[in-house]
Amino acid sequence: MEKELTLNIKQIDPYRWKIEKEGGMRVEGIVYADSRIMEEIKRDLSLRQVANVATLPGIVRASLAMPDIHEGYGFPIGGVAAFDETGVISPGGVGYDINCGVRVLRSNLRREEIQDMMKELVNTLFRNIPTGVGSHRKDLKLGIEEEKGLLRQGARWAVSRGYGYERDLDHIEERGCIQGADPGEVSDRAMERGRAQVGTLGSGNHFVEVDVISEIYDEKLASTLGLELGGVAVQVHTGSRGLGYQVCDDFIGVMLRAASKYGIELVDRQLCCAPIDSEEGRRYFAAMACAANFAFTNRQMITHWVRESFSHMLKRPSEDLGLELIYDVCHNIAKFETHNVDGKPAKLCVHRKGATRALPPGHPQTPAAYREIGQPVLIPGDMGRCSYVLVGTEAASQETFASSCHGAGRVMSRTQATKRAKGKNILREMEDMGIIVRASGWDTLAEEIPEAYKDVTEVVNVVHNAGIARKVVQLKPLGVIKG
């Protein structure tokens, strides 16, 4: 165990900060933030974690942090790190909620068409979509072999069973399936937890939200995405539920032993890892890919029930409502991608933990419909403020391994938020703001009060002004369901 690293932080420009290479750091740290957000970031240990990640073998260019950064397990939440073939893969660089992610659907609807039915629409969504800890759909029974197929195929498994359309797959990162998934590497306990939770929203910061497009920053980009001022959109934010948590938990012990076995010095045990090309590294990736595919499936099934709920309320087929998927992005993932390093293409294992891929215009993995404008970057905020749709840029490709922020980022722990919310009538406060909220319990609402988060507008303005993503539209909530 090395002695604690010192932090020498210098401001590069209004939106970038450098943590100088010190001690065992192999590369520098780069943090995207303005001066006000940086003061907020300094309140926890996340900057120390950025420096710690920079000590890991094979890390390329820099240990990166987005403006929504806050303290996490080993790696900070809001961190990005890429490793070459000599490097490592780490569960802490992905997180417990593997492929927690978000998708946005557009529609042909206008706010005025649904305003008077919002309460009933939110109640319908809450009935149709299982939410909260331990939630499950009673009409959905999954056998072991079916579950294995789901883990291998991801969103395609759901589409093949009538949950959505083939065209949805063209608008999901990796087409809704991380290759290399092996259910044989997923423990029986993880399989058991997943079997009961597929197609569920979960608790915490997960949600389904009905939004109105409240501001447009670039008419051409918005038009390409099919978004108009005053139009209605829907966000779905959830992940791999208990299955993903269990996969991470199972492999923490494996990776601690692997780090010792391969002589990897850890400045923090939570950075436990294994060489990418080791047996342990390959096993973790295979299990992680299963959890990621579970999450893709989860969001796809919930999307189907969103469409059904709108169709029921408006007495029209969902196709007539134009409820089409714009895009679906991962937030917690490790993936093999090709990026330019020192002017040459290199295959890297990119860890994004609380970060969003942000491919530039012209990139072959960007859906054909968006090839000219760049990959949609979806940034949800808290339930009381707003969210954003952006697109990726060439600067992101050059600086951040095509990555951007993923949300607002917490400034309070869940315990602190619950204390702050004591005595509040949160549902009434939200309704007074024009937002209808349903949740499975007061505790979830208390943990998710708006003041528990940074202002997502400030966070998004950093990545926009730094040039690593470009603002397209703002979304404001009309109705929200939470676990």
pLDDT at 2: 45
User: What would the pLDDT profile of 6-59 be if each residue is shown by its tens digit?
Assistant: 799 999 999 999 999 999 999 999 999 999 999 999 999 999 999 999 999 999
Please report the DSSP string for 155-191 in residue order: HHHHHHTTSS-GGGGGGBGGGG--TT--GGGS-HHHH
Residue 286 has pLDDT above 50, yes or no: yes
State the CATH class of domain 9-482: alpha beta
pLDDT at 138: 54
Q: Which residue has the tokens 């001066």?
A: 35
CA Rg value for the chain: 21
Tokens of 6: 């010192």
Q: Is-contact 158 135, C-beta < 8 A?
A: no
pLDDT at 480: 96
pLDDT at 131: 82
pLDDT at 130: 85
pLDDT at 132: 61
Tokens of 362: 């012209």
Q: What is the mean pLDDT of residues 464-471?
A: 98
User: What would the pLDDT profile of 194-205 be if each residue is shown by its tens digit?
Assistant: 998 999 997 778
Residues 205 and 41: their CA atoms lie apart, in Å, by 20
Residues 409 and 391: their CA atoms lie apart, in Å, by 20
Q: What is the mean pLDDT of residues 232-241?
A: 97
pLDDT at 236: 97
pLDDT at 54: 98
User: What would the pLDDT profile of 44-99 be if each residue is shown by its tens digit?
Assistant: 999 999 999 999 999 999 999 999 999 999 999 999 999 999 999 999 999 999 99
| Residues of the chain above pLDDT 90, percent | 87
Cα–Cα–Cα angle for 71, 75, 80, rounded to 5 degrees: 110
Residues 229 and 220: their CA atoms lie apart, in Å, by 13
Residue 292 has pLDDT above 60, yes or no: yes
pLDDT at 255: 98
pLDDT band at 139 (very low <50, low <70, confident <90, very high): low
User: What would the pLDDT profile of 354-401 be if each residue is shown by its tens digit?
Assistant: 999 999 999 999 999 999 999 999 999 998 999 999 999 999 999 999
Residues 261 and 254: their CA atoms lie apart, in Å, by 10
Residue 457 has pLDDT above 90, yes or no: yes
Q: Which residue has the tokens 């974690």?
A: 49
pLDDT at 399: 97
Closest CA to 32 of 71, 55, 78, 65: 65
| Residues of the chain above pLDDT 70, percent | 97
**Which residues make Cβ contacts (< 8 Å) with residue 97, sequence separation at least 6?**
239, 240, 244, 245, 332
pTM to 2 decimal places: 0.95
Q: Name which of 87-96, 138-147, 298-307, 417-426 the model is least confident about.
A: 138-147
Backbone angles phi, psi at 426, to 5 degrees: -65, -40
pLDDT at 136: 57
Helix or strand run (H / E) with residue 41: helix 35-41
Count of C-beta atoms within a 10 Å radius of residue 418: 19
- Please report how many Cα atoms fall inside a 13 Å half-sphere around the Cα of residue 172, on the Cβ side: 27
pLDDT at 137: 57
Backbone angles phi, psi at 464, to 5 degrees: -65, -50
Residue 229 has pLDDT above 50, yes or no: yes
Mean pLDDT score of the chain, rounded to an integer? 95
CA dihedral 211, 215, 217, 218 (to 10 degrees): 70
Q: Which residues are catalytic?
A: 406
Residues 316 and 323: their CA atoms lie apart, in Å, by 11
Closest CA to 452 of 460, 443, 461: 443
Q: Is-contact 298 314, C-beta < 8 A?
A: no
